[in-house]
Structure 1
Amino acid sequence: MENEKQNKKLKILCLHGFRTSGAILQKEVEKWPQPLLQKLDLVFMDGPYPAQGKSGVDGIFEPPFYEWFQADEEYKEFYNFEECLAKIEKFMLTHGPFDGILGFSQGAMLAATIPGMQREGVALTKVPKVKFLIIASGAKFGSSKFGIPKLASASFSTPITTPSLHIIGETDIVKEEGIGLLESFVDPLIIHHPNGHTIPMLDDKSLEIFYNFIAKIQDLP
């Protein structure tokens, strides 16, 4: 039974960054070593809305590009946030059940709110509670830099006990916000890397932290 748990792949919903796509995030994540990827069943979803402006990766990756929701220039007012969550829930019902969520950038901000919204019973109530989060280049809604969507207003009202692994880049434009997000989680594990706003390659130390995180999740009831 113990071996079965350790051999079972963790099914993870992967949420891409702003104005990119599931296919782009898949290309980035697949840089990770095969022995790690073989432990994960990764499912990549496209954001529900076509990009409503120029993508930062245009010319680097092929379109189409998508976004999860929209916001004003100050990132204080949000649009289509509830609709986005309804579409994620529908995807999870169709393609799940999922054990956890991996998010990058805008997808990471969104992922970080989900345990709190499930706890409050305001979103993703038809699917099982997520068992863990992997947050890459994340930031916190409701920080000094960002507003918070109404639906997520109580997401960080109490510390989030959902196990979390945070991937933080030394030269990432949201490094400080990513560090600030850690305060909302109980016992977060952290992988630091020397790069910017990207999914990094993983060195031996980072891989050890990742494998320890996976072992911790597989031990959950």
Structure 2
Amino acid sequence: MRPKLLFLHGGGTNAEIFRIQSGKLATLLNPHFTLVFADGFHESPPGPGVLPFFDGAGPFRQWMYDYPVMPEVVDWPELDRMAAILETQGPFVGIVGFSQGAKAGMLLLRHLERATGGHSEVEFFVSVCGTVPFRGPGTGEAEHEERKAMYEQSRALGKLKTESLHFIGESDPYRAESELLLEEFCDPMSRRVVRFKGAHHMPSEDAVNKQLARMILQSYEGV
């Protein structure tokens, strides 16, 4: 039986859309892994870049309420529901998250590490254009202090020790968040980063997808 990878979509899409968005990577991984695409818990408006291509492909979903940022909470209440996905559809050797899905994956794995004393059955975590809790310290005067305080509370819970792979788009408007997720929330001893020429989307270049697939295989095989 092939090992499983859990794919977590970004905010404002859904599992089937993410399956299409990840098509090139999935083609490379399918010979080695069973890919499981999960749906977010909450309905939402379509996310950035979803329309018009995926018009009619809803309902669109998200993992958490993080826009506007104030509804987000440090103790994400869906952590147990996320853990149930691992239990009922796993076991999984890795989690691949895009945008908000990467944030959800990081929060889940950090929660499991804290609950088990630093150990998780998930061997590695992949963030593609990942966003960060509370979108990082804000710049707006009205919300800056509260937002910054919540960000710092989340950061103080510790860094993810599970091996992490970070693919960051050089022209991604959310790149600053991806960099914070890398630097502030993932242990420097167990993280690797690739910056690719792209915006806020799954990589489209064949060479980048091959590199990502190769790194995932290396993480699984312990190379």
For residues 18 and 191 of structure 1, the distance between their equivalents in structure 2, rounded to whole angstroms, comes to: 22
Please list the CA deviations of residues 153-181 of structure 1 after superposition, one character each: whole Å capped at 9, or x if unmatched: 45664443211111111111111221222
* Counterpart among 90, 101, 104 of residue 107 in structure 1: 101
Worse overlay, 16-25 or 155-164: 155-164
For residues 180 and 169 of structure 1, the distance between their equivalents in structure 2, rounded to whole angstroms, comes to: 13
* Counterpart among 69, 73, 78 of residue 84 in structure 1: 78
Aligned partner of 2:163: which letter? P
For residues 73 and 110 of structure 2, the distance between their equivalents in structure 1, rounded to whole angstroms, comes to: 20
Is 1:217 the counterpart of 2:220 in the alignment? yes
Aligned partner of 2:104: which letter? L
Residue 202 of structure 1 deviates from its aligned partner by 4.1
Aligned to 2:20: 27
For residues 88 and 43 of structure 1, the distance between their equivalents in structure 2, rounded to whole angstroms, comes to: 13
Is 1:172 the counterpart of 2:166 in the alignment? no
Aligned to 2:59: 64
Q: How many residues align?
A: 207
SS of equivalent to 1:39: coil
Counterpart contact for 2:24–2:209, Cα < 8 Å: no
SS of equivalent to 2:24: coil
Is 1:120 the counterpart of 2:114 in the alignment? yes
For residues 2 and 32 of structure 2, the distance between their equivalents in structure 1, rounded to whole angstroms, comes to: 5
For residues 130 and 124 of structure 2, the distance between their equivalents in structure 1, rounded to whole angstroms, comes to: 15
Please list the CA deviations of residues 41-66 of structure 1 after superposition, one character each: whole Å capped at 9, or x if unmatched: 21001111111x35441322121211
Aligned partner of 2:78: which letter? C
- Identical columns (%): 24
Aligned to 1:191: 194
Residue 141 of structure 1 deviates from its aligned partner by 1.5
The unaligned stretches of length 5 or more in structure 1 are: 1-7
Worse overlay, 184-193 or 204-213: 204-213
Aligned to 1:4: none
Aligned to 1:5: none
Aligned to 1:3: none
Please list the CA deviations of residues 145-204 of structure 1 after superposition, one character each: whole Å capped at 9, or x if unmatched: 494998x94566444321111111111111122122221322422222211110012443
The unaligned stretches of length 5 or more in structure 2 are: 139-143
CA RMSD of aligned residues (A): 3.2
For residues 216 and 80 of structure 1, the distance between their equivalents in structure 2, rounded to whole angstroms, comes to: 29
SS of equivalent to 2:35: strand
Is 1:207 the counterpart of 2:207 in the alignment? no
**1:156-171 counterparts in 2 under 5 A?**
157-171=157-171
Aligned partner of 1:95: which letter? Q
Task: Provide the TM-score with structure 2 as the length reference.
Answer: 0.77
For residues 23 and 129 of structure 2, the distance between their equivalents in structure 1, rounded to whole angstroms, comes to: 17
For residues 172 and 67 of structure 2, the distance between their equivalents in structure 1, rounded to whole angstroms, comes to: 22
For residues 104 and 33 of structure 1, the distance between their equivalents in structure 2, rounded to whole angstroms, comes to: 14
Worse overlay, 22-31 or 200-209: 200-209
